[in-house]
A = this chain, B = another copy of it.
Amino acid sequence: MLKLKRVGVDTRQENVAFLSRHCTIYRAAEFAGLEKVEVAANGHRIIADLVMVDDPALLGADALGLSTTAFNHFGMPEDTAVRLKYATPARSRDALHAKIQGSELGSDQFAAIIDDIAHHRYSRVEVAAFIVACGGFMTTAETLHLTRAMVAAGDRLSWGNGVAAGGLVVDKHCIGGIPGNRTSMIVVPIVAAHGLPIPKTSSRAITSPAGTADTMEVLANVEVGLEQMREIVREVKGCLVWGGHVRLSPADDVLISVERPLNIDTREQMVASILSKKLAAGSTHLVIDVPIGPSAKVRTQNDALRLRKLFEYVGDAIGLNLRVTMTDGSQPVGNGIGPVLEARDVMAVLENRPEAPVDLRERALALAGRILEFDPALRGGAGMARARELLASGAALTTMHKITALQGKPPREARLGHLSREIVAEHDGTVVAIDCYRIARIARLAGAPFDAGAGIDLLKKAGSFAQAGEPLYRIYSDTETDFRFACGMAAENSGFTLGVTPKAGEAA
């Protein structure tokens, strides 16, 4: 028997086991061709990828190491005597192969695959194979099976009578990709001020310069447990917290951990991922924001329409009342990009200040209006006006103050980066396009979201005229290295396209 050791490496979603090549109990060569082994002791068992260790200082010949993730999943103390054997292929292996070969799968097959993925019985390579195979060919019925399977594999929240007003729990979701699009932080206080429960969980940025959770953390604590979240929503109807504490769709967490580095974002996976999480979160009514633009996730009206139909098909089948709103995704929303700058824009809107970005305000009002229309007590078509009223009266601001007070103080004080540089127009011209992807990259290089005060403040938006030498945006950073990288990237290509203005005397 081998002795269990914890090997303190973070292999993320994947279970990894380590075995010495000098192991005297199991012949390393015997396992070398296999990727998956089963580690077992006292009824506990875990499937893990096997990695061979050459260095005796890292792992003894009689030890079996488990990575942090695997060790926690296994749940046994160090020095437990463990057995190692060939892992039998995951139960859903045949279904995976059928999908790879282009078959349409049934609900049982999706259930088996998602159950195996949620329980870490797939290697990352198998997960990638599943994602790419689904991306190649997937019917709407399969998307529904996948969504249901993902809900079944996780926990499911129920809000009960203390929270839900007449059974209504509303939510909003943006499919993402547009920097500065922090409407949730305006929509939630408006909707909560109206009295509809909106327990919003958000993510932190993974590859973008800020997630809603990062920006909200400038104003308040966002690491709120489920019970506290329930109390806050009972009291003020809304919250804006980080969703990482809640295990709503463990299979989706695994899928995303592979999709992100692959940079794959298929329509079907997106629909299944979003709707399964919303259903699991106990939402009954949902508005989905789909920005359309040349550097957005959805590039044409036609693509947006197909996506909308798929959301509606699956939403109807799982009993989620949803509306898809298509919005302008041609450029960043608001002026600030990065947590501190975005929080500034959000508060300017809530405080009805004259410098508040109009595009951010109008988007938020339109989305809030759509959500308010779910309220049976409201006259049809009155949602937007009601939203505007709640914002203008200061009711939304008051609710936001209550939410931040209940969630608690932010973990650290965030202020704007102390290094800044303006990027200027090279020639006269009207701003015809701003590349969302490029601007996000520059803001990220500047240090966002890890430095909350790093980012970009846009001084011109599409349609504005800029004279040669006039600033287009300002980069903020907190460290010299990040600042240099970000400025270098902006110098190479600012992300702005300026129209060439014909010189006086030339024909237009």
Residue ranges of A at the interface with B (Cβ–Cβ < 8 Å): 6-11, 18, 21, 27, 29-30, 33-36, 51-55, 57-58, 68, 89, 93, 97, 100-102, 123-129, 131-133, 135-137, 205-207, 258, 260-264, 450
Contact = CB atoms under 8 A, between A and B. Distances in A.
Contact of A54 (B9, B27, B54, B123): B9
Given A206-B33, A450-B30, A9 B261 contact: no
A246 to B, nearest CB: 20
B132 A128 contact: yes
A3 to B, nearest CB: 17
Contact of A136 (B53, B131, B137): B137
A458 to B, nearest CB: 24
How many copies of this chain are found per oligomer? 2
A9 B136 contact: no
16 contacts: A9-B18, A11-B51, A27-B450, A35-B261, A54-B68, A58-B58, A123-B261, A124-B125, A125-B125, A125-B127, A125-B261, A125-B262, A126-B261, A128-B128, A132-B136, A133-B136
Nearest to A259: B125
Contacts of A126: 128, 261-262
Given A9-B52, A9-B58, A124-B128, 10 more contacts: A7-B55, A9-B54, A93-B263, A100-B132, A102-B136, A124-B125, A125-B125, A126-B128, A132-B132, A136-B137
A30 B449 CA distance: 9
Contacts of A133: 132, 136
Contacts of A97: 263-264
A135 to B, nearest CB: 6
A25 to B, nearest CB: 10
Contacts of A8: 53-55, 57-58
Nearest to A441: B86
Contact of A51 (B10, B29, B33, B55): B10
Contacts of A29: 450
